[in-house]
Amino acid sequence: MDKFVIKGGRRLTGEVNISGAKNAVVAILPAVLLSDEPCIIENVPSISDVKISLTILREMGAEVTPIGKDTYRIDPTTVNNYCVPYETARKMRASYYFLGALLGKFNKARVSMPGGCSLGDRPIDQHLKAFKVLGANHSLSQGMIDLTAEKLVGGQIFFDVVTVGATMNAMLAGVKAEGLTIIENAAKEPHIVDLANFLNSMGANIMGAGTDYIKIRGVKHLHGTTYSVIPDQIEAGTFMIAAAATGGDVLVKNVIPKHLESITKKLEKIGVNIESFDDSIRVWVDGPLVKANIKTSPHPGFPTDMQPQIATLLTLASGTSIITEGIWDQRFRYVEELRRMGADITVNGTVALIEGKGNLMGAPVKACDLRAGAALIIAGLSASGITEIEDIYHIERGYDGMEVKLRQMGADIRKVSLPDENDDKESEQKTVSRNDINDDAEAV
């Protein structure tokens, strides 16, 4: 088990390179299954959700070959299996994209109910509704979802809620369905557009992605392609806030500034300076941070996946801020941990009241999900003293080498391997003490 040990109080300066988007790549990798030829996927982030997706592809019979640091050649022509077992699927929420991709390829799919971040109730009724419109029936047994269709035929899908996952799954299943598929009340996130662009680069005919009305004309075959995943807007936003929280001055590189508009607008309101360039954003602070009210909502609104990070920044600002979570029922579980660091936050249902105190104090804390973990890193970087963050596997699901990138900007953060509770003296000796965190030697 690993943890991060952070000695807070260092300004972040310099540059950081943003990796490919988690929430795009976890749909693009299953989408490769739909191709009749090998595909080359570039700008793939090195995160555990990608490792799991590639394992699933390999287990299904695909040939996955790394080419360089962040590029993979994936040959799906050898896939002869439409089942994603519990052992792999449970590790990742996004395993539900194999439902749409396998259904589109084989007219059937068998995938374990997904795992992933616990943010409250995470139903998949809208995914199943879309599959049903296209002609697939589902059944659930032993924790596995089975989908079967005689053939897929286009239809009109209207989502009752705006959902990223179901919009992507409807595209995956609809791309080879006979005739026309219409998706209404579709989600508009940048990763929806990226999946559509990827599928279109294989010969699909998807129009309107990025609006709430997507039109798909089914095609019989999809061919191979070379495609580069978009930069991760949430990783970029997280580093922007980390820079702001430490009073730093950072150039965030390899971004699409348009995707970051809702974040940059709020940061400017809080008193953070932002300068946008073609594919980079400079973030710096030279004055006081002030309160702001934020409500998360689907794109182009303020992203829920940035909510814990900006809440952390607001604990450092003067005044009372109100945060309303508009997507997930339980996305304030990290607040308990921030309180241990001295934050004054009161939560009532999906609303949090933050009394900005200007500073946080280091403490031992636990990441309860991916973005909560990122928020605790930001808290630790800005706090006085030492912060130790446990359960960092959540963070590694979605951030590519976060501590390495932070160290390059001057942060004092180390990854430390913890001995298992049952381990003996030998592993005790391997524990790195708090005094060791300035050493450059590899953490054990």
Footprint of ligand EPU (CB under 6 A): 23, 26, 93-94, 117, 121-127, 161, 163-166, 187, 304-305, 327-328, 370-371, 398
Selection from 418, 426, 424, 289 nearest residue 360 by Cα: 289
- Looking up tokens 């992507």 gives 168
State in angstroms the smallest separation of the CB of 76 from ligand EPU.
21
Q: At what angle do helices 190-201 and 22-31 cross, to 10 degrees?
A: 30
Q: In angstroms, what is the C-alpha Rg of the chain?
A: 22
Q: How far is the CB of 284 from ligand EPU (least distance, A)?
A: 26
Closer residue to ligand EPU, CB minimum distance, 20 or 165: 165
Annotated catalytic residue 117: yes
CB of 327 to ligand EPU, least distance (A): 5
Q: Write a three-state SS string for 391-421.
A: CCHHHHCCCCCHHHHHHHCCCEEEEEECCCC
Residue showing the smallest CB distance to ligand EPU in the complex: 165
C-alpha 344: how far from chain center: 27
Distance, in Å, from the CA atom of 409 to the CA atom of 412, rounded to the nearest integer, reads 9
Which one of 39, 83, 117, 368 is the catalytic residue?
117
Residue whose CB is less far from ligand EPU, 32 or 363: 32
Closest separation in Å from C-beta 303 to ligand EPU: 6
Residue 140 CA, chain-centre distance (Å), reads 27
C-alpha distance across the termini of the chain, in Å: 11
Q: Which is nearer to ligand EPU, 124 or 343 (by Cβ)?
A: 124
Structure tokens at 170: 């409807």
Q: How far is the CB of 169 from ligand EPU (least distance, A)?
A: 9
Q: Which are the contacts of 167, defined by CB distance < 8 A and separation ≥ 6?
A: 159, 183, 186, 187, 192, 214
Using a 10 angstrom Cβ sphere, with 0-12 exposed, 13-18 middle and 19 or more buried, the burial of residue 398 is: buried
306: CB partners within 8 A, 6+ apart: 234, 237, 238, 241, 263, 296, 371
How does DSSP assign 305-363, residue by residue?
GGHHHHHHHHTTSBEEEEEE-SS-TT--TTHHHHHHTT-EEEEETTEEEEEE-S--B--
- The least CB distance from residue 146 to ligand EPU, in Å, is 17
Angstrom distance (rounded) from CA 346 to CA 349:
10
Cβ atoms 194, 22 nearer than 8 A: no
* Type of residue found at 281: I
Tell me whether residue 167 or residue 416 sits nearer to ligand EPU (CB atom): 167
Nearer to ligand EPU by Cβ, of 18 and 416: the residue is 18
CB of 48 to ligand EPU, least distance (A): 13
- Which of 100, 3, 91 lies closest to 51, judged by CA? 91
Cβ contacts of residue 441 below 8 Å, gap of 6+? none
The smaller minimum CB distance to ligand EPU, of residues 235 and 249, is found at 235
Which C-beta is closer to ligand EPU: that of 280 or that of 307?
A: 307
Element (H, E) at 28: helix 22-31
> In b/e form, how buried is each residue of 70-107, taking b as 16+ CB within 10 angstroms?
bebbbbbeebeebbbeeebbbbbbbbbbbbbbbbbbbb
CB atoms within 10 A of CB 297: 16
Distance separating alpha carbons of residues 315 and 378, to the nearest angstrom:
11
Question: Which residues are catalytic, by number?
Answer: 117
